[in-house]
Structure 1
Amino acid sequence: MWYVYIIRSIDFPDQDYIGATEDLKRRIPEHNAGKSVHTSKFKPWKLIWYCAFPDKYKALAFEKYLKGHSGRAFAKKRL
């Protein structure tokens, strides 16, 4: 399974990050440990939403959509 997820900074609640991973239980602690350049300055993070996909390419396509303008609007309104 592949997961698309949204995390939100606890100290900076206006900062969200959208990502995809095969191991969600490992990935969130990595964000909080500062192992990602994109998320290290806004740690700690909390998981606010995720969705499982049986196919890697569908997960990556949905992640790409959510990172775009209309996808961010969709996520803000619906997720």
Structure 2
Amino acid sequence: MFYVYVLYSSDFERYYVGISTNIQRRLKGHNSAKVISTKAFRPWAIVHFESFPTRIEARHREKYLKSAAGRRWRKLNIRPRGATE
């Protein structure tokens, strides 16, 4: 299985969308500064994930969630704990 995940940094109010076969291992990598694009915004928490049988399907969903329409969808459908608007 392939997973598309959305991370949230409450300290910086930022989201990160990624793809992995092991979300928990990937989260540890993000929080241990092994990912250059996310290390400045630690700590991260998983706020949403979806599973897909193929990498191609997961990649399509990841690309959508990173698009302008996907950001709008995230804003309407994903609420991190403790976040206020």
TM over 0.5: yes
Deviation of 1:10 after TM superposition, in Å, equals 3.1
Alignment partner, residue 3 of structure 1: 3
Can you give the 5+ residue segments of structure 2 that lack an aligned partner in the other structure? 79-85
What is the aligned residue count? 78
Deviations along 1:6-40, one digit per CA (max 9) or x if unpaired, are: 0011321x211000111112100000001111100
Please, what TM-score do these two structures have when normalized by structure 1? 0.93
Taking the aligned partners of 1:52 and 1:78, their CA distance within structure 2 comes to: 17
Per the alignment, residue 28 of structure 1 pairs with 27
Alignment partner of 2:19: what SS?
strand
Deviating beyond 2 angstroms after TM superposition, the runs of 4 or more aligned structure 1 residues are none
Superposed CA RMSD in Å reads 0.8
TM-score for both structures, normalised by structure 2:
0.87
Identical aligned residues as a percent: 37
Task: String of CA shifts for 1:33-60, please: whole Å, max 9, x gaps.
Answer: 0111110000010110001111110001
* Long gaps (5+) in structure 1: none
